[in-house]
Amino acid sequence: MVKKVLISAAGRGTRMLDLAKDKPKHLIEVNNKPFLYYLLINLKQAGFKEFVMVVGYKKEFMEVFLNKYKDDFNITLVNQFEILGEEKYGTACPLWCAKDLLVGESFLAVYGDNLYSVEDLQRFNIDDDYCYVAGLPHEQPQNYGVLSVAENGLLKKIVEKPKRPVGNLINTGLYKFSPEVFDYLDKIKLSPRGEYELTDVINLLAEKGKVKAMDLKGIWLDFGKPEDIVKVENYLNNNKQ
């Protein structure tokens, strides 16, 4: 069984505009609780026990959150800015920061501003030698990273915002990694946009036939823009959380 979850929550949340001016966007409240609380509750209900949360921007607010909910969740905070500085940036950075806490075992990886169903999270609790990436059919895949998948279910590549169609299954940012992911982490280079991309790590693993794609069956809610607050609120109200 996979027990640990890496939660990436170091970003500034610029798309949330002034709502994230004085605190991380993950702590913006929905129905009187921080969004992050609902992600953690779903992970806990799915059977995950330990959380490694990589923070950076306004980390002191994350520390207050941790203290408030210390009896509910087993969370270890890791400060990305302290380890890498604020100049080294990208979705692969949390893996570098949390390596010592995760090395040698399989783990789940999510972003702190995404919400998934308990059922889908449970389906990703797979302790085998493969890595897994969650996909979801979308009508406008060209606006996202798209999963190019072989007939046997193995991932061929994640193509970011493709100009030519490669499929309609978009990357939703939910991953299960085997310990082997750290063997490929140091092989990536800066992307054209000047960041260290987690998808580059996944693509290296995919070249070796080590990544499987799995469709989500439930919801995926991205908490990135002000209008997403109402979407999450409606979902929570309809699902009584």
CA neighbor of 110 nearest in space, from 233, 230, 221, 235: 221
Does 143 have pLDDT greater than 80? Answer: yes
pLDDT band at residue 18, thresholds of 50, 70 and 90? confident
CA 163, 166, 172: angle at the middle one, nearest 5?
A: 95
Cα distance between residue 139 and residue 199, in whole Å = 21
Query: Tens digits of per-residue pLDDT, 207-237?
Result: 999 999 999 999 999 999 999 999 999 999 9
Structural domains present in the chain? 4-238 (3.90.550.10)
| Site of tokens 């806990």 | 44
CB of 182 within 8 A of CB of 103?
A: yes
Give this prediction's pTM.
0.96
Write the DSSP assignment of 29-56 as a string of letters: EETTEEHHHHHHHHHHHTT--EEEEEE-
